[in-house]
């Protein structure tokens, strides 16, 4: 298992569009993916679960990947968490 914390740089936080992209990318990997924000932990492969985290700008979010291709998943999803979206 790999765990890493990322700061959300998008000024509007992690709203529906970036969440959709994140979940689509997460589902390409066979490993378990969990996302934590403000003490709450959810399945990173579920859009609804991700939206319940209420990830805002400058929040520090912890990403956990566990299993096959966990390193690839961490790299790809970490980039999405720190990306500035339109």
**Does 85 qualify as catalytic in the annotation?**
no
Torsion of CA 28, 29, 30, 34, to 10 degrees: -110
Residue 86 has pLDDT above 70, yes or no: no
- Domain spans, the chain: 2-82
Q: What is the pLDDT of residue 84?
A: 83
Could you give the percent of the chain with pLDDT greater than 90? 90
3-state helix, strand, coil in the chain (%, to 5): 35, 25, 40
Superfamily (CATH H level) for 2-82: HPr-like (3.30.1340.10)
Options 7, 15, 41, 69, the catalytic residue = 15
Average the pLDDT over 2-8 and give the result. Answer: 97
Q: Find, among 29, 18, 39, the residue nearest to 69 by Cα.
A: 29
């Amino acid at each position: 298992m790999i765990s890493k914390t990322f700061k959300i740089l998008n000024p509007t936080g992690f709203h529906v569009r970036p969440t959709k992209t994140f979940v689509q990318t997460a589902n390409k990997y066979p490993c378990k993916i969990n996302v934590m924000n403000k003490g709450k932990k959810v399945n990173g492969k579920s859009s609804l679960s991700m939206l319940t985290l209420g990830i805002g700008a400058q929040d520090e979010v912890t990403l956990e990947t566990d299993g096959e291709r966990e390193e690839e998943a961490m790299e790809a999803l970490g980039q999405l968490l720190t990306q500035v979206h339109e």
